[in-house]
Structure 1
Amino acid sequence: MEEQKNQETTAEVFTFARPVTFEGNTVESITIDFEQLTGEDILACDRQYRAESRQTSGEMVKEMNKAYQAYIVAKAAGVHVGLIRALSAKDFTKLTLQAQSFLLL
C-alpha cells in the first residue's frame, strides 16, 4: 500500500495489488480520506446498507460487517461501492479493515 499524506489533507492513495476494471474503466488506485467524512455521510452509508441488505433494525455492531464497511470506504473515496466490491479479496480486506479501524476508534 502506497501512502501519501501532506499537512493540508488526511487523504491517502491506496494502490491496488492489481488493477480492476469497473464500468469499462481500469482503476489502479483510489484516494481515501476517512477524516473528511461527516455524520451525514455515515448516516447515508447506513441507509444504503440497510436498503440493500433489507435490514429492518440495526445490527449490534454493523461496524464489523464487511458489506457496511465497503460503503464507508466508497464514501471516503468518492467512488461507487461496486468498485470496492470488484477489488481483489486482498485489497477489499485491507480497505475494509481500515474502515473498521476508523469506525471503532
Structure 2
Amino acid sequence: MSDKVANTEKLDEIKQAGTVIKLSRPISWEETEYKELVLDFDRLSGDDIMAIESDFMDYIKGQKNVFVQFKGEHPGYHAVVAARAAGVNPFMLKKLTARDFLKVTGAAKDFLNGWV
C-alpha cells in the first residue's frame, strides 16, 4: 500500500472519529484521566442543540455582562457545545489549560459557523 493511500485512510478514520484535540497535559475529572478529547459534532441532534441552550444558562450563572443574544460569540457557549460533542461535563473544560480551552472552543466555533 502506498504512503498516500495509507495517509488518506488515516485521515478518513480521524474524520469518522471526530475532531481530536490532544491536550497539552492530562486532566483528571471524576476519576477519569483525559489526554485528548474527541469532538464528534456529527452525532449531535436537534435535541442536543436545545439542551445546550439550557446548559449554557447554567454554565454562565453568576457571571456579569453576559448578553445571551450574542451567545454564538461567547466562549462559554462554545465550551458547552464542545462538551456535548465530546460527551463530557462542560465544567470540566474550565480546568483545561488556556491553550487547550481555546483549541476546544475554537473547534466548536468553527462547527457552529459551518466550517467543520
TM-score by length of 1: 0.80
SS in 2 for 1:6: helix
| Aligned counterparts of 1:7 and 1:15: Cα–Cα separation in 2 | 13
Q: Match of 2:31?
A: 24
Change (3 A) 1:8 1:25: closer
Superimposed CA distance per residue, residues 41-77 of structure 1 (whole angstroms, 9 cap, x where no aligned partner): 111011111234359xx72221111111111011000
Deviation at 1:79, TM superposition (A): 0.9
Counterpart among 80, 84, 91 of residue 82 in structure 1: 91
> Hey, which bits of structure 1, 4+ residues long, moved more than 3 A?
none
| Aligned counterparts of 1:94 and 1:49: Cα–Cα separation in 2 | 19
Deviation at 1:82, TM superposition (A): 2.1
Change (3 A) 1:34 1:88: same
Size of the aligned set, in residue pairs, is 101
More helix by share: 2
Structural RMSD (CA): 2.5
Deviation at 1:4, TM superposition (A): 5.6
Q: Which has the larger radius of gyration?
A: 2
Structure 1: state its 5+ residue gaps. none
Superposition pairs of residues 44-55 of structure 1, within 5 angstroms:
44-54=51-61
| Aligned counterparts of 1:104 and 1:61: Cα–Cα separation in 2 | 14
Q: Percent identity?
A: 28
Change (3 A) 1:10 1:24: closer
SS in 2 for 1:95: helix
Q: Match of 2:7?
A: none
| Aligned counterparts of 2:34 and 2:17: Cα–Cα separation in 1 | 21
Q: Match of 2:106?
A: 97
SS in 2 for 1:92: helix
